[in-house]
Amino acid sequence: MLKCAALLTATCLVEGFAFTPSPTVSLPILAHSSKPFRADNPRRLGNLGLLSTKKTAFESDYASSIDNPSDYWFNLAKEKLDWYTQPTKSLTGGLATADVKWFEDGKLNACYNCIDRHIENGRGGKTAIIFEGDEPSDVTKYSYTEVLARVSKIANMMKSNGVKKGDVVTIYMPMTPDIIFSMLACARIGAVHSVVFAGFSEDAIADRIAASGSKFVFTSDGGLRGGRTIKLKQTVDNAIAKDRAKVLVEKVFVFKRTNEDVNFVDGRDLWADDLLSSQSTECPAEVMGAEDPLFILYTSGSTGQPKGILHTTGGYLLYAQHTTATSFDLQPDDIYACVADAGWITGHTYICYGPLLNGATSTVFESTPLYPDEGRYWDMIQRHKINIFYTAPTAIRSLMRFGDEPPKKYDLSSLRVLGSVGEPINPAAWDWYNDVIGGGKATVVDTYWQTETGGHVALNLPGVHEPKAGSCRGGTYGIDLAILDPKSGEVIEGNDVEGVLAISKPWPGMARTCLGDHERYKTTYLQPYPGFYFAGDGARRDSSGYIWVTGRVDDVINSSGHRIGTAELESSLVSHPLVAQAAVVGYPHDIKGEGVACYCTLTKGTAMTDDLRKDLKQAVRSSIGPFATPDMIIEAPALPMTRSGKIMRRILRKIAGGDTELGDTSTLADPTCVGVLVENAKA
């Protein structure tokens, strides 16, 4: 990114790719995804009972979900959700017109569907949430009845402090049950939650508050993670000190977690726990339209500011319910644990809404896989007898480093389904997950999806599809996946083909818009290939019809499962006075999947030093958050540009990854700059 707004666009058009119809895409290949599936890998069906019956049932259900999505989802909506007013309409609008709606005239409440109805059906005593705190000894279980009481109190506290239906509430909280309860309380009164992952910086919070016009913030004094305290309230204070947030925020509700001293602003800040003690445990659930917003979640795109992805109520809920039930083969007595953070879409759909809609027992995990030691997950699985465990390849890889001994100390025989999400799972990690964690008996399910899709769109369904290490197989119910020619936009039929991944029919869980910017929604997802939802990923279909996601085709890095826009990283680097220009790329990284490599051209007369590297890392941490901290900062006296002025990121990726086969560099304006970068990357 150059320090010149006019040139911004040029750098975003990476190697000719743009989000316009018929783009030219150069497909990046991710570190692990290109490795072929090994023939000697144990490929097996799950141990899930009547497999052939399930397979046949899937095939006929899948066919009807694709042939007639409107009827398919309409029947399920009536069966699986409770409505105040049953919808008479199913799908209206379409992808080509960017106006998809589901069950438009139906009325329901998300929180009622997640909690109350289970109590009314006599299951109030069932454990809804198992809280596994940072210390393994800190475990609390909440029944559905207890969840309803706490959620209703929070909802009443919000109402009595001015929060109204339609207001956006920013939630910046640690992974305690209160983050889930606060989301549900918003849903109960029709407020729209905008959860900001507690690893984001004060700048990122302020941006999201401003972009969503949020007048209310939920936070806690601090958070606990891996034995450390994270000062959440202080970060919120710093965020609200920024003008763009200060003018908006009226009330900050502060929960207690760490009991440390925090600053309190009179009239603005409120101790939630004090207010809750006097609130009623009864709060009627607001009657919401199926297309009323449920939440906003910001996610990185290829350009500029993160997008506020907006999910609405009826369709999202149905999709969350259905995918949780089917993707994990959820059974009534299962203990289910998704160890993601509620600050990301995985936490929204597969810790909060999906499991609770199914009346399941869901785990809220506050700690890290390495605290107090590398056996934490396995210890937790043994103690709670977890049947379904859902994590990311990066966590698996980081635990594999410790060998087989830590998991072998624990009884993991309760496990039946092992989910994976965030990036393709490389064969070595798949083998370890399958053999060592699953003992060869649990089914590894690779779930491909995005913030925008609301829920899983491609996976190997347990008991139905043979898993293949590294492949997410193909579309789930209602998802008609297509591989398109990136240039012509034509559907590429047949096997052994490669292109960009798209979905050809609307599904209930799809995001409806980007908050306040429907045009951006259209140009990003629906206009690049008219009639299709464009996922932004490359993919190939192998000889047996399985889909392999090859990684993002836009300027988005997927590092440790975190989606980070290179434009955001570049803009924080060039905000440093000694950086004239920056180009950021992802490169293959053993643990993170992709590492973040930053090439910086410094101002004249400045030399790269360790201190400057530290400063630049700090600049990224302050503008985005610690999870985006660069892995490499490489001094770049000049960047490899084509003669038309585009940065050749392909070359930068290879240099950062230590790949000596740089390919054709003759089209560069100045091919000599490459040798300097290769040397500097070694520094």
The nearest distance, CB 321 to ligand PRX, in angstroms, is 17
The nearest distance, CB 390 to ligand PRX, in angstroms, is 11
CA separation for the pair 207, 304 (Å, rounded): 12
The nearest distance, CB 63 to ligand PRX, in angstroms, is 24
> Rule CB under 6 A: is residue 451 a binding residue for ligand PRX?
yes
Q: Which is nearer to ligand PRX, 149 or 479 (CB)?
A: 479
The nearest distance, CB 178 to ligand PRX, in angstroms, is 23
The nearest distance, CB 434 to ligand PRX, in angstroms, is 15
Q: Which is nearer to ligand PRX, 191 or 421 (CB)?
A: 421
Tell me the residue number closest to ligand PRX, measured at CB. Answer: 451
Count, residues near ligand PRX per rule CB under 6 A? 21
Q: 10 Å Cβ neighbour count for 543?
A: 8
> Rule CB under 6 A: is residue 424 a binding residue for ligand PRX?
yes
The nearest distance, CB 394 to ligand PRX, in angstroms, is 11
CA separation for the pair 42, 126 (Å, rounded): 37
Q: Which is nearer to ligand PRX, 109 or 450 (CB)?
A: 450
Residues 428-447 that bind ligand PRX (CB under 6 A): 446-447
Owner of token pair 């960017």: 98
H-helix segments, 264-418: 272-277, 314-327, 345-347, 354-357, 376-384, 393-400, 405-408
Cis peptide before 372 (omega within 30 of 0): yes
The nearest distance, CB 552 to ligand PRX, in angstroms, is 5
Piece in contact with ligand PRX (CB under 6 A), picked from 46-54, 198-206, 422-430, 604-612: 422-430
User: Pick from 452, 508, 480: which is nearest to 318 by CA?
Assistant: 508
Q: Which of 118, 348, 552, 592 binds ligand PRX (CB under 6 A)?
A: 552
Q: Which is nearer to ligand PRX, 438 or 640 (CB)?
A: 438
Owner of token pair 């990357």: 681
Q: Which of 159, 397, 541, 563 binds ligand PRX (CB under 6 A)?
A: 563
> Rule CB under 6 A: is residue 558 a binding residue for ligand PRX?
yes
* Residue 485 one-letter amino acid: D
- Do 602 and 582 touch, CB atoms closer than 8 A? no
The nearest distance, CB 557 to ligand PRX, in angstroms, is 10
Cα-Cα-Cα-Cα torsion 441, 444, 445, 451, nearest 10 degrees, comes to 140
Q: Which is nearer to ligand PRX, 65 or 450 (CB)?
A: 450
Q: Which of 46, 223, 301, 422 binds ligand PRX (CB under 6 A)?
A: 422
The nearest distance, CB 135 to ligand PRX, in angstroms, is 28
Q: Distances from the Cα of 366 to the Cαs of 231, 471, 677, in angstroms?
A: 15, 30, 41
Residues 289-318 that bind ligand PRX (CB under 6 A): 299
Q: Which of 345, 584, 634, 674 binds ligand PRX (CB under 6 A)?
A: 345
Q: Which is nearer to ligand PRX, 300 or 398 (CB)?
A: 300
Backbone angles phi, psi at 8, to 5 degrees: -55, -45
CA separation for the pair 267, 142 (Å, rounded): 32
3-state DSSP percent of the chain in helix, strand and coil, to 5: 35, 25, 45
Angle between helices 673-682 and 649-656 in degrees, nearest 10: 30
Q: Which is nearer to ligand PRX, 148 or 364 (CB)?
A: 364
What's the DSSP call for residue 641? B
The nearest distance, CB 393 to ligand PRX, in angstroms, is 8
Q: Are strands 139-143 and 127-132 parallel, antiparallel or unpaired?
A: antiparallel
- Name beta bridge partners: 588: 594
Q: Which is nearer to ligand PRX, 219 or 447 (CB)?
A: 447
- Name beta bridge partners: 251: 216
> Rule CB under 6 A: is residue 346 a binding residue for ligand PRX?
yes
Q: Name the E strands within 439-521.
A: 443-447, 481-484, 497-503, 513-514
Q: Which of 423, 554, 568, 594 binds ligand PRX (CB under 6 A)?
A: 423
CA separation for the pair 650, 640 (Å, rounded): 10
Q: Which of 103, 377, 430, 448 binds ligand PRX (CB under 6 A)?
A: 448
Cα 103 vs. chain centroid, distance in angstroms? 25
Piece in contact with ligand PRX (CB under 6 A), picked from 70-78, 130-138, 421-429, 619-627: 421-429
- Do 83 and 92 touch, CB atoms closer than 8 A? no
Output the CA angle 107-341-616, nearest 5 degrees: 125
Piece in contact with ligand PRX (CB under 6 A), picked from 59-67, 112-120, 283-291, 420-428: 420-428
- Do 486 and 23 touch, CB atoms closer than 8 A? yes
Residues 471-490 that bind ligand PRX (CB under 6 A): 472
Cα 104 vs. chain centroid, distance in angstroms? 26
Q: Which is nearer to ligand PRX, 224 or 296 (CB)?
A: 296
CA separation for the pair 399, 94 (Å, rounded): 44
- Do 510 and 315 touch, CB atoms closer than 8 A? yes
The nearest distance, CB 239 to ligand PRX, in angstroms, is 22
Residues 515-544 that bind ligand PRX (CB under 6 A): 535-537
What's the DSSP call for residue 368? -
The nearest distance, CB 540 to ligand PRX, in angstroms, is 12
> Rule CB under 6 A: is residue 594 a binding residue for ligand PRX?
no
Site of interaction with ligand PRX (CB under 6 A): 299, 345-346, 421-424, 446-451, 472, 535-537, 549, 552, 558, 563
